[in-house]
Amino acid sequence: MFRATVLTLFPEMFPGPLGLSLAGDALSRGVWALETKQIREHGVGRHRAVDDTPAGGGPGMVMRADVLAAAIDAAAPADDPRPRLLMSPRGRPLTQPRARELAQGPGAIILCARFEGVDERIVDARALEEISIGDFVLSGGEIAALALIDACVRLIPGVMGEEASGVEESFEAGLLEYPHYTRPREFEGRDIPEALLSGDHARIAKWRHDQALALTRARRPDLLTPQPRGRSNGR
């Protein structure tokens, strides 16, 4: 079973949207599991401090390595096979291949940082894989963790209604997804493309591929550039 363990200062943010729709239904059926761990339980001192001022000066606060190490160790023993992920804007971008790779595994231990980030030493000491969901900064890693988990859970067998739904979509074949249409046949002077109404499966497949290729060239030409060989998570 895919099992996600989230280390956070705000466990009340979960399951959030993961408790709804397909992910929520699968969660209630036991297809996958989710647990949250409060990092502050491992804080130091009377006030359970989890952060301190940055070495060398500067604004903000930094999450302490000793606190995070205790939280990680309590949540997962050393022999836990699940990858340890840190949601971070400086991480490698989350890709569909990486999401599928995670979905096919035992789950993930996900650390959600706050403030200015984490003491760098915890990244090395606990072999954290830094993952980003985009070139922007959030207030913390929780929203990014929700996005990552959703991207994985929807790929678990038994979550989506039709297996083809997870195959014929953006990034699965290296292209953006082709446009979709449904009733009514005409909407505000715009018709459904005739090829989709032809009943000719070969013609429909060619139209969809051509449209996907055109969209990718226009919006994400980087996807058409051959990528260097290697694992998608950069290891």
pLDDT of residue 171: 76
Handedness of CA 148, 154, 156, 159 (dihedral sign): positive
146-162: burial string, b at 16+ Cβ within 10 Å, e else: bbbbbbbbbbbeebeee
Interval 110-137: pLDDT, tens = 999 999 999 999 999 999 999 999 999 9
Distance between CA 224 and CA 94 in Å, rounded?
18
* Residue in this structure with the two tokens 């919006």, named with its chain if needed: 219
Interval 32-86: pLDDT, tens = 999 999 999 999 999 999 999 999 999 999 999 999 999 999 999 999 999 999 9
pLDDT of residue 164: 45
pLDDT of residue 230: 47
- Is residue 233 scored above 60 in pLDDT? no
- Is residue 27 scored above 50 in pLDDT? yes
What integer best gives the mean pLDDT of the chain? 93
- Is residue 140 scored above 60 in pLDDT? yes
pLDDT-based confidence at 161, cuts 50/70/90?
confident
Listing DSSP states for 18-69 in one string gives GGSHHHHHHHHTTSEEEEEEEGGGG-BTTTTB-EEPPTT--SS-EE-HHHHH
Distance between CA 200 and CA 18 in Å, rounded?
39
pLDDT-based confidence at 167, cuts 50/70/90?
low
Average pLDDT over residues 183-198: 97
Listing DSSP states for the chain in one string gives -EEEEEEES-GGGSSGGGGSHHHHHHHHTTSEEEEEEEGGGG-BTTTTB-EEPPTT--SS-EE-HHHHHHHHHHHS-TT--S-EEEEEEEEEEP-HHHHHHHHTSSEEEEEE--TT-B-HHHHHHTT-EEEESSSS--SSSHHHHHHHHHHHHTTSTTTSS-GGGGTSSTTTTSSPPPP---SSSEETTEEPPGGGGS--HHHHHHHHHHHHHHHHHHH-GGGGSPPPSS-TT--
In Å, how far from its chain's centre is CA 123? Answer: 19
